[in-house]
Amino acid sequence: MPDAFFQKKRKRTSASGAGARAGPSRSKPSSSASSSRMRKPNADSDADDDDVTGGGIDDMDLTHNYNDAPNSDDEAEAAETPAEARVRLAKMYLQGLSDSPAGDDFFEGAEQPSFGLADAAQADRDNIAARLQKDVAEQSGKIHLFLADRIAASPTADDAESGTVLTVKGHRLSVTAAVASADAKWLFTASKDGNIIRWRMSDGKMVRVLPRRARVLGDDGQPVPPTTANRSKTSGAARRRARFTAAAAANGDKGKTSDCADAASYISVGAEQGHTDEIWSLSLSSDGSYLASGGKDSRVCVWDTTPRSEEKFLKALGGHKDAISAVQFRTGSHELYTASLDRTLKLYDVAQLSYIETLFGHQESVLSLSCLGAETAVSAGGRDRTCRFWKIRDESQLVFRAGAKSKLRDVLEGGDLARQALSGEGGKMSAPTEAVEGSVEVVAMIDQSHFVSGGDSGSVSLWNLGRKKPVHSVPVAHGFELTTSESEGEIRTPRWITAVAALPYSDVFASASWDGNVRLWKIIAPGGSIRSFEPLLNVSVQGVVNSIQLVQPPLSSVRVASDGTLGTNALVASKWKHAKGAAETEGKALTRVTATKQNAPPLLIVAAGKEHRLGRWINLPTATNATTIFPLTLTHAQ
């Protein structure tokens, strides 16, 4: 006997319900129409209930139809970002091209002649496929610019007759940092004298000086000149002060008009603005709107460097408790990473002039950092002998320990056998020439999964995120420094790596020390897999190299010479005022097909001086405090 709980009530016999159906209509016609429409489905449902005969829960189909489940691909497409969508569509298009038959060209047919149109269509298809492949490679964050094999030999800084080297001099002390804008129009340099200078790269003119804040300010907030007893009347600073004072007297209180270039080259820095000590690092945003500087005074200063306007101080970002060793903008963003000797890294939003977060983990002072377009960064921990890869979004870090030595690797590489061979057969084994790395000094990212580091042992190491040990290392890359001791005689000490830089997503990077050469290295990546690197060429630079930058000029400035070599006219020789001016590149512009980053010859920017940027352990009296620009050339277009 069926349970009364599952018995279905056939029809409602309520008097109120019947009366409601039989009652008069409402005063509003629309309400009456809507109520009639609402009653019609109820009647149909009652009719359906009448058609159902018997049955209960036992007759219901409670099984789940998995074929009607939501499509996981649709959910993935809805969750993907626009950049991921572009990459997916490009891959689908390339797959379609590879799967299409060879004779599907609509220009080729039995009824109509091709007249060479098939070749043009195939060329267009190849060009589109090549561009899409480049877009996929750029979005993937992997190495995709292969320029090393096409870089021609570069001139030396001492070769004045070649006319291909540019040098700017304006700092009294050692130049610690030099950065160029992405459009290769402006160059910013910083020094231990606390000043930042803006240069115009086309003619080498000093456009503006962002001076160090004076220690003594007057009631009006302006710097108070030094007393007569301590003031020099013959130095360059004295002559500049005289010109500045004369211009101010002639033009009023402002003293900054187009009539006097010297007066216009200085900006006013008031109280609590600018730096008060040495500047160690500079970074320029990708759009050229902001310049960040950090130094010994533990201040991260942000300057407004919007093009076509005068620079101005915005704010000093606080938070660090010790000197700022490195600052770096994320590519294509206004996010700023800073490293300090207080063993922390901090992240700021410069557009909002606000603090975001602090990254902890290093055991010693952080000496260098590098980042690219993704929300990741890599830092060098100095004496803790680690490189740390930071994943900002995941709030995690990967630790890579440098300086480790494997006995198995030493045996495989024949270290002991080589030393015994040098001493002669049966002789005493010679002392090893290797140096143990005690500090990681500098670091630079190559792409999103590879970076290069340099240490105080003189070794240059290439790292992969998938391995805890270097993929490849070159020990004592810049030779030994010979010193003489009365007790031990001649002592050979390896020159540590003072600067390293990489052209982003390319197979070229550079390292430097104080041996007089900046070494360019070629990354060996068969099939896109980075395995090792080898020497490419040397560029002669005298002094302690404190900063290196590799930047590609805009494609509009690239010119193809008559012999097929590629150069840039971003540097105009006829306007350059220094003795070592760049030879102006003449030739045709790139075509629409060849106007790619593969055909943009990079610029090598080197900042050097008499001393190291972080101290005075090294002093080279014969060196010059200057910034040198080497326009590299490519042998042919691709």
Question: What does the domain layout of the chain look like in residue ranges?
Answer: 82-97+118-140, 147-170+498-638, 214-268
Work out the angle between the directed axes of helices 82-99 and 117-140 (0-180°, nearest 10).
140
Cα 487 to its chain centre, rounded Å, is 48
Return the pLDDT at 491: 84
Query: Between the CA atoms of 263, 267, 269 and 274, what dihedral angle is there, to the nearest 10 degrees?
Result: -130
How confident is the model over 415-425, as a mean pLDDT? Answer: 45
Neighbours of 276 (CB within 10 A): 16
Return the pLDDT at 266: 79
**Six-digit token string for 552:** 């590609």
Identity of residue 83: A
Strand order in the sheet with 588-589: 566-568, 558-560, 588-589
Sign of CA dihedral 361, 362, 365, 367: negative
Whether 24 has a pLDDT exceeding 80, the answer reads no
Of 336, 321, 234, 325, the residue nearest 289 (C-alpha):
336
User: For residue 426, what pLDDT band results from cuts at 50, 70 and 90?
Assistant: very low
How confident is the model over 360-373, as a mean pLDDT? Answer: 95
Return the pLDDT at 214: 72
Return the pLDDT at 424: 46
Of 128-137, 194-203, 248-257, least confident by mean pLDDT is 248-257
The mean predicted confidence, pLDDT, of the chain is 76
Instruction: Let me know: does 629 contact 571? Beta carbons within 8 Å.
Output: yes
Whether 73 has a pLDDT exceeding 90, the answer reads no
Instruction: Let me know: does 458 contact 475? Beta carbons within 8 Å.
Output: yes
E strand or H helix that includes residue 549: strand 544-551
User: For residue 12, what pLDDT band results from cuts at 50, 70 and 90?
Assistant: low
Of all residues in the chain, what percent carry a pLDDT higher than 90? 42
Neighbours of 16 (CB within 10 A): 8
For residues 610 and 625, give the distance between their C-alpha atoms in angstroms, rounded to a whole number.
Answer: 6
How confident is the model over 30-41, as a mean pLDDT? Answer: 48
Of all residues in the chain, what percent carry a pLDDT higher than 70? 63
pTM above 0.85, yes or no: no
How confident is the model over 295-324, as a mean pLDDT? Answer: 90
Return the pLDDT at 67: 54
**Six-digit token string for 567:** 């150069």
**CA distances, 170 to each of 3, 120, 190, 196 (Å):** 100, 55, 10, 10
Cα 81 to its chain centre, rounded Å, is 22
Of 32-41, 277-286, 526-535, least confident by mean pLDDT is 32-41
Span 487-525, pLDDT tens digits:
877 888 899 999 999 999 999 999 999 999 999 999 998
Span 227-253, pLDDT tens digits:
555 555 566 666 666 666 665 555 554
Return the pLDDT at 628: 93
Of 339, 373, 375, the residue nearest 358 (C-alpha):
339
Instruction: Let me know: does 607 contact 202? Beta carbons within 8 Å.
Output: no
Instruction: Let me know: does 168 contact 175? Beta carbons within 8 Å.
Output: no
Span 326-342, pLDDT tens digits:
999 999 999 999 999 99
User: For residue 217, what pLDDT band results from cuts at 50, 70 and 90?
Assistant: low
Q: Which residues of 212-232 are buried (b: 16+ CB within 10 A; e: fewer)?
A: bbbeeeeeeeebeeeeeeeee
